[in-house]
């Protein structure tokens, strides 16, 4: 009702405003531009006097709602479960009422909103059954938490780019570290980010809490953690204990979850992306200035000042962070001549795929993907890296050549030295078998290295007389003629005027020339 009342008031305002602008000398087009109305609507308003307009407003039609008869049920559900979603409500309505109309979920959502507004039913969160307890502060140097995040940014040219980042925070002092990358984090990059964090902290904690991320943990195995190979090497080398939360339990490491949100909502907001190195320099300055330099909202202490105390409790770090070595990796070529990489498909030149064992080398460099032949190491193609998912990155030059067979026809005519019967047979082949014309030409072109021009011309001429238009039949006849000549050990003349076939052949050519 409130929406309808507001709608009627808006129309009334527009009617008065249109009359006012007309009195000032504005025409209908100008009034429409001023009020954001169509010229026909302005003309309709101006054609009605005040009594007509008031009568039109009073007689505004009221439409019946499709779900009106389910009002009591929807109200009872919303009052009992105020947090319920429209998707669940839609499913329950379809379950309880077999004759429920085939409306979409958005219709149920809008109707539920009307019921909430009518009966003042506020939507609230589903009650948690989990009991929470404020835990005491952990000892200095004992725990840290680590996690990964990602966010879209804009370059100065307005192009959207996606950045990925690693976050580590010391649990007691809340001292933070952030490292950005343009590539999604794999195990090698995560190990490098860990060592950067240890170098930044000047030491390492005894335990680090993680999600069950597949780049770190291969399998939980009921508490017997099976780490990925390279992360296991880091753990053994640096002598810290990884602690993994249970699945779907981010609240177990709420400190680092808050830091991820803090980086997104404070540091990255409205920031232009230039390159990764500059972004990492900017985030280091932000950490000194804000992330670690301002008073923490929970502890009411400055993390950088607390870190002075915690630093003495950290285990020493003697390593040197080394960026992961970018190696080319092998990828299977799909039968549609594409390579799948990071959820996208990159095209290869037509004919690259030979069998199920066809492999190529792929290397990501900056904003591009380079693909090399595994056998020769030569660059096959170079594509721009796509940051989305499920896309096909195409190069038009990789498409299959779509010619009508002109080049193949020229090869056959050149090999047969322009024999008149050959061109006529090719014309009739195209007329009779247009869909398979190119396939027949390919068969004949494959026969060129095997048989001389005279043999191919004689076979085609015989097929012309017999009314045979098939490339395989021509090749079979070529093989028969070749064996016959080989058996006699004397080349048989290409023309035999006394034969019945040659007389018919000449008659066909003569009739074609007269046309």
DSSP annotation of 297 reads T
CATH of 2-58, one of 1.20.272, 1.10.3470, 1.10.10, 1.10.1200: 1.10.10
Is the distance from CB of 163 to CB of 148 less than 8 angstroms? no
Q: Of 209, 299, 288, 193, whose CA–CA distance to 254 is shortest?
A: 209
Predicted confidence (pLDDT) per residue in 205-230, tens digit: 999 999 888 889 887 766 677 888 88
Indicate the domain borders of the chain.
2-58, 68-119, 143-313, 329-398, 406-514
Predicted confidence (pLDDT) per residue in 137-181, tens digit: 889 999 999 999 999 999 888 888 889 999 999 999 999 999 999
Fold agreement (2-58, 143-313):
no
Confidence of residue 1 (pLDDT cuts 50, 70, 90): very low
Per-residue pLDDT averaged across 418-431, rounded? 84
CATH number of 143-313: 3.30.420.10
Q: What pTM value is reported for the model?
A: 0.51
Asked if the model's pLDDT at residue 200 lies above 90, the reply is yes
How many residues in the chain?
A: 515
Residues 6+ apart with CB under 8 A from 181: 163, 164, 165, 166, 189, 193, 276
Per-residue pLDDT averaged across 359-382, rounded? 83
Predicted confidence (pLDDT) per residue in 4-63, tens digit: 445 445 677 788 888 888 888 888 888 888 888 888 888 888 888 877 777 666 655 666
Question: 137-141 — which CB contacts under 8 Å span 24+ positions?
Answer: 137/172, 138/171, 138/172, 139/172, 139/313, 140/172, 140/173, 140/309, 140/310, 140/312, 140/313, 141/170, 141/172, 141/203, 141/205, 141/206, 141/310, 141/312, 141/313, 141/314, 141/315
Provide, for the chain, the percentages of residues in helix, strand and coil under a 3-state DSSP scheme, each rounded to the nearest 5: 45, 15, 40
């Amino acid at each position: 009702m409130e929406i309808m009342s507001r709608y009627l008031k808006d129309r009334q305002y527009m009617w008065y405003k249109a009359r006012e602008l007309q009195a000032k000398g504005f025409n209908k087009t100008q009034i429409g531009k001023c009020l954001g109305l169509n010229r026909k609507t302005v003309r309709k308003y101006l054609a009605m006097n005040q009594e007509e307009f008031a009568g039109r407003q009073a007689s505004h039609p009221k439409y019946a709602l499709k779900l009106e008869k389910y009002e009591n049920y929807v109200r009872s559900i919303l009052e009992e479960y105020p947090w319920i979603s429209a998707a669940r409500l839609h499913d329950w309505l379809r379950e309880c009422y077999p004759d429920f109309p085939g409306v979409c979920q958005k219709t149920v959502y809008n109707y539920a909103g009307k019921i909430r507004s009518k009966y003042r039913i506020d939507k609230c969160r589903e009650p948690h059954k989990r009991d929470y307890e404020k835990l005491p502060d952990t000892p200095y140097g004992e725990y840290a938490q680590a996690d990964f995040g990602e966010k879209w940014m804009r370059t100065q040219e307005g192009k959207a780019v996606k950045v990925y980042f690693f976050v580590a925070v010391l649990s007691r002092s809340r001292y933070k570290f952030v490292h950005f990358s343009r590539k999604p984090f794999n195990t090698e990059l995560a190990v490098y980010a860990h060592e950067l964090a240890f170098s930044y902290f000047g030491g390492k904690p005894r335990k680090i809490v993680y999600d069950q991320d597949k780049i770190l943990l291969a399998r939980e195995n009921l508490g017997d953690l099976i780490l990925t190979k390279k992360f296991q090497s880091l753990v053994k080398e640096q002598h810290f204990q990884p602690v993994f939360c249970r699945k779907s339990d981010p609240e177990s490491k709420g400190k680092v979850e808050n830091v991820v949100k803090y980086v997104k909502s404070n540091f990255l907001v409205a920031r232009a992306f230039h390159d990764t190195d500059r972004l990492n320099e900017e985030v280091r300055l932000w950490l000194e200035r804000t992330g670690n330099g301002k008073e923490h909202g929970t502890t009411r202490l400055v993390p950088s000042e607390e870190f002075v105390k915690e630093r003495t409790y950290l285990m020493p770090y003697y390593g040197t962070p080394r960026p992961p070595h970018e190696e080319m990796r092998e990828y299977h070529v799909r039968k549609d001549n594409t390579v799948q990489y990071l959820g996208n498909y990159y095209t290869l030149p037509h004919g690259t795929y030979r069998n199920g064992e066809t492999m190529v080398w792929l290397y990501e460099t900056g904003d591009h993907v380079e693909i090399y032949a595994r056998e020769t190491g030569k660059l096959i193609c170079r594509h721009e890296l796509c940051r989305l998912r499920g896309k096909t990155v195409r190069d038009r030059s990789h498409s299959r050549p779509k010619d009508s067979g002109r080049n193949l026809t020229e090869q056959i005519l050149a090999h047969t030295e322009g024999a008149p019967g050959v061109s006529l047979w090719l014309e009739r082949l195209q007329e009779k078998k247009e869909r398979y014309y190119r396939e027949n030409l390919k068969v004949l072109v494959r026969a060129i290295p095997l048989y001389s021009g005279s043999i191919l011309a004689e076979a085609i001429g015989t097929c012309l007389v017999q009314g045979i238009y098939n490339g395989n039949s021509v090749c079979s006849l070529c093989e028969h003629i070749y064996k016959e000549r080989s058996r006699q050990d004397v080349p048989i003349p290409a023309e035999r005027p006394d034969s019945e076939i040659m007389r018919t052949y000449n008659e066909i050519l003569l009739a074609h020339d007269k046309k």
